[in-house]
Chains A and B, each alone.
Chain A
Amino acid sequence: MPRPMTITEKILAAHAGLPEVEPGQLINCKLDIVLSNDVTAPIAIKEFKRIGVDEVWDPTRIALVPDHYTPNKDIKSAEQAKMVRDFAREQGITHYYEIGCMGVEHALLPEQGVVVPGDVIIGSDSHTCTYGALGAFATGVGSTDAAAGYATGEAWFKVPESLLFVINGELSPWVSGKDVILHIIGMIGVDGALYQAMEFTGSTIRGSSMDDRMTICNMAIEAGGKSGIIAFDEVTEAYVTGRAEREWTVYESDPDATYARVIEIDASAIVPTVAWPHLPSNTRPVADSRDVRIDQVVIGSCTNGRLEDLRIAAKILKGRTTHPDVRLIIIPATQQIYRDAMHEGLIDIFLDANAAVSTPTCGPCLGGHMGILAAGERSLATTNRNFVGRMGDPTSEVYLASPAVAAATAVAGHIALPDDLD
């Protein structure tokens, strides 16, 4: 009998061809998918070419998503996007997504069934950890690791210790997956899970939607985590059925698996939360943040640009208009989400509220384009980072919150809860 293992250890052991692994062990794993975007692929392509092999390991297992500075923001960005496009054509990469099919990578790949439960995935983007929501091991790496992945289909890992977050109970009104993960990051800090896998379980998680699960796993990196993971269940099955392009494998933690720490959280104690500048761990209740006036609200990104996020925003924005001092930018994360939002009438609600609705792009989240802040300006965003200068001028500020708080804030002109509105 192998030693009792966590879900993360089981997935890594299976991909390393070993009966068991333990934390701290250095292993070489077979990869299911390697991902890069228009910022990180150019370096990866240059490094790949230095290796000296002509062809990638498997053109069907590499995903190239030009989403950061696209549609091309300037000439230099256009050159980077072209380099990715040329490489995709030359290598016959099947999962290359041109403008018009493109979406924000971590919303797009699960939606298109490219990543499936039980996978090992690396991506040269730190929010690759999002796919843990499907019960996969997914982690962000740099471009050179991705280049090695293009060439070999393998990567080395140090098997991480696991932290188990057991979240039980009902969430209060207007409390979402975003508040859950901000609450956790506020509790353990931006390096509270450094080098560790964050496993989420409990009745709150079991009762949560796939969109909320992706939001939670997406921000594991903001606690320093190597990965976030939620075991496969009927919600996962319903999500992947009909979209997974490969067979999936279900793993679950053994009941007697070893965790570095078990953290129990009462869901009813989680309140609508805002991360103040300049760290995601700098959290405060929305109720204590109402004095902060906001110049721009952004609803979108790989964290909160999915259909459920847009539905919540629309529920609050319906019949209301944005505060005259606020610029509201809404970015559906994929073409499919954009289309679904249009069919459900959400886009009309947004336009009626005086929001600018954009084609999918990472854009303002990383201060790329589509909503850059001037000196001293403040944005409240559903994105994932509020570091100095993240969305523009180094003296600008970013506050992180849920789509519900973002929509209410856009109407109120200051940080607000939906219940604060008339």
Chain B
Amino acid sequence: MKFTGTAHKYGRDIDTDVIIPARYLNTSDPFELAKHCMEDLDAGFVSKVEPGDILVADENFGCGSSREHAPISIKAAGVSVVIAKSFARIFYRNAINTGLPIMEAPEAVDGISDGDRVSVDADAGTITNETTGVTYTAQPFPPFIKDIIEKGGLIEAVKEKLGA
């Protein structure tokens, strides 16, 4: 999987309440959830994000609630990949399970500024800041998790396991 887009950069401890506020959790419709993505952190996010754009954040991205509505809204808003220094563990599982590409790459986060053009080769695990010309390497996924990603998410993996 290869993506190119504009980086939208945020700080540390971005919680799932600001990614998708609970007042919108009375639905699980991705289109509805996308309209309010990042609303309480950056009310302008939805109007500026273009399909393929890249979310960049510091440590502990996606902390707090287990709501899968968070990765769903990010994906449905058009974000192609989230690059962070680290992810909160439930968000990490949810992203893998639902097929939202994520990469742990502390050096890349430090080397990318808001508005930079960034291209990502998720299979090779490389991140290139096209604005500065510097390429970074993300932490590789363990084979067990790579297997879930390659099957297209947890449900596809379970289907295969159960022969359903």
Contacts and interface: CB of A to CB of B under 8 A. Distances in A.
A190 B155 contact: no
A190 B13 contact: yes
Contacts of B40: 388-389, 394
A165 interface: no
A77 B88 CA distance: 27
Given A46-B28, A194-B88, A142 B66 contact: yes
A141 B60 contact: no
B15 interface: yes
B135 to A, nearest CB: 27
Interface residues of A, number: 52
Interface in A19-53: 26, 39-40, 42-43, 46-47, 50-53
A77 B26 contact: yes
B68 A40 contact: yes
Contacts of A385: 15, 17, 64-65
B63 interface: yes
Nearest to B145: A26
Interface in A155-202: 156, 190-191, 194-195
Contacts of A135: none
B27 to A, nearest CB: 5
A226 B89 contact: yes
A366 B22 CA distance: 6
Contact of B93 (A80, A141, A194): A141
Nearest to B27: A76
A125 B66 contact: yes
Contact of B28 (A42, A50, A221, A388): A42
B155 A51 contact: yes
Interface in B129-154: 142, 144-145, 153-154
B4 interface: no
Given A145-B154, A389-B18, A194 B89 contact: yes
Contacts of B86: 191, 194
Interface in A268-302: 279
Interface stretch (A146-154, A332-340, A350-358): A146-154
Nearest to A72: B26
A46 B94 CA distance: 15
Q: Choose among A43, A53, A80, A387 the residue with the greatest number of B CB atoms under 10 Å from its CB.
A: A387
Nearest to B60: A191
A385 B164 CA distance: 40
Given A152-B161, A387-B18, A144 B28 contact: no
Contact of A39 (B21, B25, B97, B164): B25
Contact of A224 (B28, B39, B60, B94): B60
Contacts of A367: 17, 21-23
A144 B41 contact: no
Contact of A140 (B22, B90, B142, B144): B90
Given A152-B161, A191-B13, A224-B63, A145 B97 contact: yes
Given A143-B68, A147-B155, A368 B90 contact: no
B48 interface: no
A226 B87 CA distance: 13
B160 to A, nearest CB: 10
Contacts of B153: 144
Interface string B61-102: 001111111011000000000000010111001100110000
Contacts of B93: 141-142, 145
A47 B155 contact: yes
A379 interface: no
B154 A144 contact: yes
A73 interface: yes
A144 B97 contact: yes
Contacts of B28: 42-43, 46, 80
A126 B65 contact: yes
13 contacts: A26-B144, A39-B25, A39-B69, A50-B155, A52-B159, A77-B26, A80-B27, A145-B97, A152-B161, A367-B21, A372-B23, A388-B41, A390-B22
Query: What are the 3 tightest A-B residue pairs by CB atom distance, in nearest-first order?
Result: A142-B94, A76-B26, A52-B164
Interface of B: 13, 15, 17-18, 21-23, 25-28, 39-41, 59-60, 63-69, 71-72, 86, 88-90, 93-94, 97-98, 142, 144-145, 153-155, 158-159, 161-162, 164
Given A69-B25, A77-B26, A194-B89, 15 more contacts: A39-B67, A47-B155, A53-B162, A124-B66, A124-B68, A141-B66, A142-B67, A190-B13, A224-B60, A366-B17, A368-B22, A385-B15, A387-B17, A388-B40, A389-B40
